[in-house]
Amino acid sequence: MGRYDRIELLVGDDFKKLEAAKIILLGVGGVGSFCLDCLYRSGVKNITIVDFDTYDDSNQNRQMWSELHEGEFKVEALQKHYPEIIIINKRIDEEWVWDFDFDSYDLVLDAIDDRNAKLALAQKCYKKLISSFGGAKRMDPTKVKVDDIWKSYGDKFGAKIRYELKKRGFKKKYKVIFSSEEAKIKEKGSFMGVTATFGLTMCGEAMKKIRGVK
């Protein structure tokens, strides 16, 4: 069988939609790197990734390819494994979000940690945004859920996002990925089983949107 035959068996003619989709993925750490891998292996090739960070030892428990590229910029390292992708080596903050032109992209995938940048993304890109809340501090992948922003729960970071959006008068809906599991610790400990599940769930939701499946 060919490289994409098995995914084509599942999605049929919708595979052409996956091939034609144009996606921007913000953040390629514990969540974003698995989302990228999933999209790429499913036939989505027109992907732009944005990140500013480099790999170090602390990434190796949860980030794709990190053990092979210590000290390298993440976007440059990942392009070696996914050669068709476009890379932008930039820190994603609120100012960058407001200045960047997202119009040409079919989907905006948010796997970043910066709260103000997340708020700006919601306000600017909600119609084509899928956003990830925190995957750290948790151990149970089965507690990862998807819903619209106003129906999410069980995540203090997510609660802060909802509060700030209300303060800004934002009432629109967009998809978020979150965990209903109570945080186990205060520090940012992380388990790949959860962070990878966030990333793979983001990929699954992106593929639904591309295919027009509800």
The tally of domains found in the chain comes to 1
Q: For residue 48, report the phi and psi dihedrals to the nearest 5 degrees.
A: -105, 130
Among 43, 47, 34, 40, smallest CA distance to 12 is for 43
pLDDT by residue (tens digit) across 5-30? 999 999 999 999 999 999 999 999 99
- At 65, list the tokens: 């390819």
Give the per-residue pLDDT at 46.
98
How confident is the model over 125-136, as a mean pLDDT? 95
CA distance 172 to 148: 9
**CA 38 → CA 15, 20, 42, 137, distances in Å?**
14, 16, 6, 23
Residue 214 has pLDDT above 90, yes or no: no
Q: What is the pLDDT of residues 156-174, one digit of tens each?
A: 999 999 999 999 999 999 9
| Cβ-contact 19, 44 below 8 angstroms | yes
Write b or e for each residue in 95-127: b if 16 or more Cβ atoms lie within 10 A of its Cβ, otherwise e.
ebbeebeeeebbbbbbbbbbeebbbbbbbebbe
- Residue 129, pLDDT score: 98
Q: Are 37 and 61 in contact (CB under 8 A)?
A: no
DSSP states of 95-111 as a string?
HHHHHS--TT-SEEEE-
Pairwise CA distance, residues 74 & 84, whole Å:
15
User: For the domain that residue 178 is a member of, what is the CATH number?
Assistant: 3.40.50.720
Sequence-separated contacts (24+) of 167-171 with Cβ below 8 Å: 168/119, 168/123, 170/122, 170/123, 170/126
| pTM for this prediction | 0.96
What confidence score (pLDDT) does residue 184 get? 87
pLDDT of residue 207: 98
Q: pLDDT for 162-205, tens place per residue?
A: 999 999 999 999 999 999 998 889 888 999 999 999 999 999 99
Q: Quote the domain boundaries for residue 200.
A: 5-211
Structure tokens at 15: 């595979």
